């Protein structure tokens, strides 16, 4: 198999997670000649990262991981284009941005983050390559829409684990922070290489399709397995149609007011918007006016909330906003829509998809 250098130079790849594994994947993609990268991470470089991650240096400690990897990748190849997105894949990444990628590579360590990557990739019609490392074990898998789905592959135990972290209506949920599992630079190097290889096969396209197998490596006994792997159940809630935006100029941005946009149709929200919460014990009401994932931090920072645990609160929330939404003067950004997203609008004639800036 040969790789077309021009094709790699033109390729756009999003890498989600810039930890030890993401470092390896990014380094490999740049060495292979991939020309355009988008890096996504909400974390900062800590001392403990330095002994595990190929791209971090002592001077980077305290700074954003996305900025540190960008500096280092430009040292390797100054012509590579690296766009940084300091944020969370669950809420801060637009579907249109993912649609502009050739492939997405996941280097995250939580089920919830993987679930969110799968959701946005199905909407964007893009394949993603997932990698996971723990101790001396690692896996790499390719999820192509219509063939493999992360949610369908979970099994009962995994679904239960996911449900506990899933947003569920009426409950103020705890924000999900990735756990810190012990990871060696060796296992990251092995799995990061396989992930980059699979991503490049996806970019290479027709005739060089990725095989429907997963890669499993266990270092202690030097065991490698590549079982066949296909998971696509018809009743999975993530299996949506592809969100193909209408042709034409992009007229709305995250700074556009909700009242202007809802004239085009009712906006479906991936993440509910919460205007207030009620204390289940005292019946008191607190206004929050944020997307659901930010409710906890608002309550914690607000002394008026009285220091109650967030489980004490019931949220009043909107899953969609239409002409009757009482806060039409808010912007799309303020109700939680990320830049370069695709809006799903419900109209009398069915659904429309429009891209925003
Ligand atoms: Zn599924």
How far apart CA 91 and CA 78 sit, in angstroms, is 30
The tokens of 205 are what? 């396209």
The tokens of 41 are what? 């991470």
138-147, 157-166, 267-276, 304-313: which range is least confident on average? 157-166
pLDDT in tens, 119-152: 999 999 999 999 999 888 999 999 999 989 999 9
Q: So what's the pLDDT on residue 89?
A: 94
Q: How far is the CA of 62 from the centre of ligand 1 (A)?
A: 38
Tell which wins on pLDDT, 206 or 227.
Answer: 227
> In the chain, what percentage of residues exceed pLDDT 90?
75
155-173 mean pLDDT: 58
pLDDT in tens, 50-81: 989 999 999 999 999 999 999 999 999 999 99
How far apart CA 92 and CA 339 sit, in angstroms, is 8
Q: How far is the CA of 290 from the centre of ligand 1 (A)?
A: 29
How far apart CA 141 and CA 156 sit, in angstroms, is 19
3-7, 164-168, 294-298: which range is least confident on average? 164-168
Q: So what's the pLDDT on residue 311?
A: 81
pLDDT at 307 over 90: no
What counts of helices (H) and strands (E) characterise the chain? 9, 13
pLDDT in tens, 247-259: 999 999 999 999 9
Confidence class for position 2, pLDDT limits 50, 70, 90: low
Q: How far is the CA of 154 from the centre of ligand 1 (A)?
A: 9
Q: How far is the CA of 119 from the centre of ligand 1 (A)?
A: 9
Of 94, 96, 90, 137, the C-alpha closest to 118 is 90
The C-alpha torsion from 36 through 333 and 175 to 342, rounded to 10°, is -50
pLDDT at 304 over 80: no
Domains of the chain: 5-225 (3.40.50.720), 258-355 (no CATH)
Q: How far is the CA of 166 from the centre of ligand 1 (A)?
A: 15
Q: Within the chain, where are the H helices?
A: 5-10, 20-32, 65-76, 95-99, 111-124, 155-165, 185-204, 258-261, 295-301
Q: How far is the CA of 116 from the centre of ligand 1 (A)?
A: 12
Q: How far is the CA of 117 from the centre of ligand 1 (A)?
A: 12
Q: How far is the CA of 330 from the centre of ligand 1 (A)?
A: 34
């Amino acid at each position: 198999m040969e790789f077309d250098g021009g094709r790699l130079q033109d390729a756009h790849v999003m890498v989600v997670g810039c930890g030890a594994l993401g470092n390896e994947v990014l380094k490999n993609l740049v060495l292979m000649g991939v020309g355009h990268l988008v890096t996504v991470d909400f974390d900062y470089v800590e001392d403990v990262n330095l002994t595990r991650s190929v791209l971090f240096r002592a001077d980077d400690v305290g700074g954003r991981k996305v900025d540190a990897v960008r500096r280092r990748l430009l040292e390797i190849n100054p012509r590579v284009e690296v766009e940084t997105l300091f944020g969370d894949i669950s809420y801060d990444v637009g579907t249109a941005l993912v649609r502009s990628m050739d492939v997405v590579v996941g280097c995250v360590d939580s089920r919830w983050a993987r679930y969110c990557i799968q959701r946005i990739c199905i909407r964007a019609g893009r394949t993603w390559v997932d990698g996971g490392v723990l101790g001396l074990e690692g896996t790499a898998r390719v999820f192509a829409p219509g063939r493999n789905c992360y949610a369908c592959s979970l099994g009962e135990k995994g679904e239960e684990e996911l449900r506990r972290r899933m947003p569920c209506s009426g409950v103020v949920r705890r924000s999900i922070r990735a756990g810190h599992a012990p990871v060696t630079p060796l296992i990251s190097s092995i799995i990061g290489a396989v992930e980059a290889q699979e991503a490049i096969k996806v970019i290479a396209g027709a005739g060089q399709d990725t095989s429907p197998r997963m890669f499993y490596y266990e270092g202690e006994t030097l065991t490698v397995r590549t079982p066949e792997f296909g998971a696509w159940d018809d009743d999975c809630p993530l299996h949506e149609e592809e969100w193909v935006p209408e042709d034409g100029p992009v007229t709305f941005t995250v700074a556009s007011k909700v009242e202007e946009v809802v004239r085009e149709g009712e906006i479906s929200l991936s993440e509910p918007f919460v205007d207030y919460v009620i204390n289940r014990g005292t019946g008191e009401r607190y206004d929050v006016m944020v997307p659901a994932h930010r409710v906890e931090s608002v309550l914690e920072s607000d002394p008026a909330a009285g220091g109650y645990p967030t489980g004490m609160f019931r949220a009043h929330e909107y899953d969609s906003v239409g002409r009757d939404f009482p806060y039409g003067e808010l912007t799309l950004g303020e109700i939680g829509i990320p830049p370069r997203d695709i809006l799903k609008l419900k109209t009398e004639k069915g659904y429309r998809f429009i891209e925003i800036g």
